[in-house]
Amino acid sequence: MATSLKNLSDYDPAKVPSAEDMLFGIVVAEWNIEITGALLKGAIDTLKKHGAKEENIVVKYVPGTFELTMGGRYMAEYKDLDAVICFGCVIQGETRHFDFICHGVSNGITELNLQYDIPFIFGVLTTDDMQQAIDRAGGKHGNKGDEAAITAIKMAALQLEMEEE
């Protein structure tokens, strides 16, 4: 989580396993694409920095954040992936729509983690305004895309480690 005490892009690269032999799926919401596109760029750059090959990064788009769950499910069912990253951005408005979308997508991604044998990474920004989203998509608080990529690598590596024991 980005706070005044932690930047989303700060991490120790020495503590990140190699992603060289891993295959990643990334599902990106088209709603607020200026934000989700920045998250995607951060993730791809970070995955490559840790050895992932471009051809081992599969990117698909869905209309909005709510559809990330189904997009993630399709990724798991049709691709042989080591992890799926889900990127969305929901900005508080004047109605309760924000609450329903955030609740639905967080529960949906949790369910995917429980139903499938691969990690699904929650890369959804839930902010009060556009400036907070910008600050977390490469702005003053770093890029949630970097954090999501690191989480995907670490969780995929953990699963591989557990399978080998």
What's the average pLDDT block by block, 10 residues per block, for the chain (165 residues)? 71 94 98 98 98 98 98 96 98 85 95 96 96 96 97 96 89
Query: Based on C-alpha coordinates, what's the Rg of the chain?
Result: 15
Q: What is the CATH code of the structural domain delimited by 21-164?
A: 3.40.50.960
Residue 141 DSSP class: T
50 an active-site residue? no
Catalytic residue among 50, 97, 103, 141: 97
What does the pLDDT read at residue 165?
83
What pLDDT is recorded for position 93? 79
Report helix, strand or coil for 103.
Answer: helix
For the packed helices 144-164 and 33-49, what is the interaxial angle rounded to 10 degrees?
Answer: 50
The closest of 158, 146, 164, 124 to 50, measured between CA atoms, is 146
First to last CA, the chain: 31
